[in-house]
Amino acid sequence: MKIAFILFDGITFLDFAGFYDVIYRLGQFEIGKDLSWNICAASEEVKDELGFTVKAGKVLPELSEYDMVFVPGGMGTRKLRYDEAFVLWIAGAYNVPYKVSVCTGSLLLGAAGLLEGKKATTHPFAYELLKPYCEEVVETRIVHDGNVITGGGVSTSIDLGLYLISHLAGEGAMNSVKEQIDYPYEMQGIARI
């Protein structure tokens, strides 16, 4: 499995880091034996909402070559959803088997047309912003509708990673990862469509 992690200026870094720290552990299990990933962006460096700078490994790669595309959120999504070149790049993930977002990353999936006919979620403060882009906004933490999986607010990034570990490698794998990261909480608010 090859994953594209999408970064951009104005990202909420925990949206990315929470999911990344969990999902890379998929490589411990049979389904993830060929796991690889790229940190992808529209420029060589991006800054989060607080000024933290991250270097991208790939600049505007062809997203159709990935098995999973993950889009985090952050205040930068509000402006980027109107950036035609950026949205067109994200739209290149149309045939990717797993399109995943957390927080307001779903606004970017939506702006790229990837939520048409789908139920989705986002940060609770952004439910109204998401409505024009999907069939229905489900006010919960994780929504899995076909090949699109969206997560709610920032802390949901960890639950979303665990959910995908469970979905791809089984509940035993998920429990193993929870133990590794000392995560004592039970996931809640999952809507599988």
Q: What is the pLDDT of residues 131-164, one digit of tens each?
A: 999 999 999 999 999 999 999 999 999 999 999 9
Positive or negative, the CA dihedral 145, 37, 21, 128 is: negative
pLDDT category at 84 given cuts 50, 70, 90 is: very high
Percent of the chain with pLDDT over 90: 97
pLDDT category at 173 given cuts 50, 70, 90 is: very high
Q: Contact 73/104 with Cβ under 8 angstroms?
A: yes
Q: Rounded distance, CA 191 to CA 20, Å?
A: 22
The terminus-to-terminus CA distance of the chain in angstroms comes to: 24
Candidates 103, 112, 115, 158; catalytic one: 103
**DSSP of 24-79:** GGGGGSGGGTT-EEEEEESSSEEEBTT--EEE-SEES--GGG-SEEEE---THHHH
Whether residue 103 lies in the annotated active site = yes
Closest residue by Cα to residue 176 from 36, 37, 28: 28
| Domain hosting residue 67, numbered range | 2-192
pLDDT category at 187 given cuts 50, 70, 90 is: confident
Domain tally, the chain: 1
Say what the pTM is. Answer: 0.96
Identify the CATH number of the domain in which residue 169 sits.
3.40.50.880
